[in-house]
């Protein structure tokens, strides 16, 4: 997106102006202050450096490392039978690891990230020759149309001021009927805190649903890390999305 284009204003779920103001104060201002190419290189450096190294530790502290497997259970996002699977913004390989565990042994697994250091961390961690890594941007995917049966994009689109260019790319590379596990930071207090640590934005659930549908995808069903997460509606937006048949 060029820096002159207008970024759609987020739909806020919070009606209370004091709560909204508090969340806004907590959220990172990096995306607002920089133009899109400055922000993109800032994020690349952020993950190339110490922040990227720390994702492994923060994953353990927040429970995300342990919980990652929950969303790949057969009754949740089932990758069995999928012959081509993509991990978009794979980071240090947390979700690739789950895909490797659950996917058919002959499935082709592709993973990309903006940060080459993150790709290196993933390949060192996973030590698998079943994954094909490439450095790429969410908004320009180096894969043919209708190539993937399934894809995962975990906690990445919050690094885009406007998610629609990426969502259109997801719709393009998924085969008709193919599915996407989309995870993103929600506009809650916990989300605002994540935003300040990772310099990302947050999404209101209805807002991201609108974008997904606008890009021709189906907002299929919400998933949760656990029943506790489901009961309290916590853990961020985790949604199964589909490309129509």
Ligand X SMILES: C[S@@+](CC[C@H](N)C(=O)[O-])C[C@H]1O[C@@H](n2cnc3c(N)ncnc32)[C@H](O)[C@@H]1O
Report yes or no: 81 and 105 within 8 Å, Cβ to Cβ.
Answer: no
- Applying CB under 6 A, the span of 3-11, 27-35, 108-116, 209-217 interacting with ligand X comes to 108-116
- Applying CB under 6 A, the span of 83-91, 142-150, 170-178, 212-220 interacting with ligand X comes to 83-91
* 3-state SS class at 217: coil
Q: What share of the chain is helix, strand, coil (3-state, %, to 5)?
A: 45, 20, 35
How far apart are CB 209 and ligand X at their closest, in Å?
A: 21
Report yes or no: 141 and 112 within 8 Å, Cβ to Cβ.
Answer: yes
| Both structure tokens of 106 | 């002959």
Please list every residue from 110 through 139 that binds ligand X, using CB under 6 A.
113-115, 118, 137-138
How far apart are CB 119 and ligand X at their closest, in Å?
A: 9
> For 128, what's the count of Cα atoms within 13 Å in the CB-facing half-sphere?
21
Report yes or no: 183 and 158 within 8 Å, Cβ to Cβ.
Answer: no
* 43 is an interface residue for ligand X by CB under 6 A: yes
The residue within the footprint of ligand X, chosen from 123, 154, 207, 238 (CB under 6 A), is 154
β partners of residue 134: 112
* 90 is an interface residue for ligand X by CB under 6 A: yes
The residue number with the shortest CB distance to ligand X is 91
Interaction site with ligand X (CB under 6 A): 43, 47, 55, 89-91, 94-95, 113-115, 118, 137-138, 154-156, 159, 198
């Amino acid at each position: 997106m060029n820096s002159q284009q207008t970024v759609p204003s987020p739909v806020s779920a919070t009606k209370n102006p004091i709560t909204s103001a508090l969340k806004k104060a907590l959220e990172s201002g990096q995306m607002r202050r920089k133009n899109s190419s400055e922000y993109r290189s800032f994020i690349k450096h952020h993950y190339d450096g110490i922040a990227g190294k720390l994702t492994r530790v923060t994953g353990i502290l927040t429970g995300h490392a342990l919980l990652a497997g929950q969303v790949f259970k057969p009754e949740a996002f089932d990758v069995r039978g999928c012959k081509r699977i993509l991990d978009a913004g794979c980071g240090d390989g947390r979700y690739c690891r789950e895909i490797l565990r659950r996917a058919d042994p002959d499935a082709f697994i592709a993973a990309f990230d903006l940060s080459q250091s993150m790709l290196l961390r993933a390949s060192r961690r996973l030590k698998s020759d079943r994954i094909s890594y490439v450095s790429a941007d969410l908004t320009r995917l180096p894969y043919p149309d209708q190539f993937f049966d399934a894809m995962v994009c975990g906690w990445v689109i919050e690094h885009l001021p406007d998610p629609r260019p990426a969502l259109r790319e997801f719709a393009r590379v998924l085969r008709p009927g193919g599915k996407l596990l989309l995870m993103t930071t929600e506009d809650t207090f916990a989300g605002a805190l994540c935003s300040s640590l990772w310099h990302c934005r947050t999404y209101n659930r209805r807002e991201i649903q609108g974008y997904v549908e606008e890009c021709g995808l189906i907002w299929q069903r919400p998933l949760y890390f656990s029943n506790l997460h489901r009961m309290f509606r916590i853990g961020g937006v985790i949604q199964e999305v589909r490309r129509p048949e």
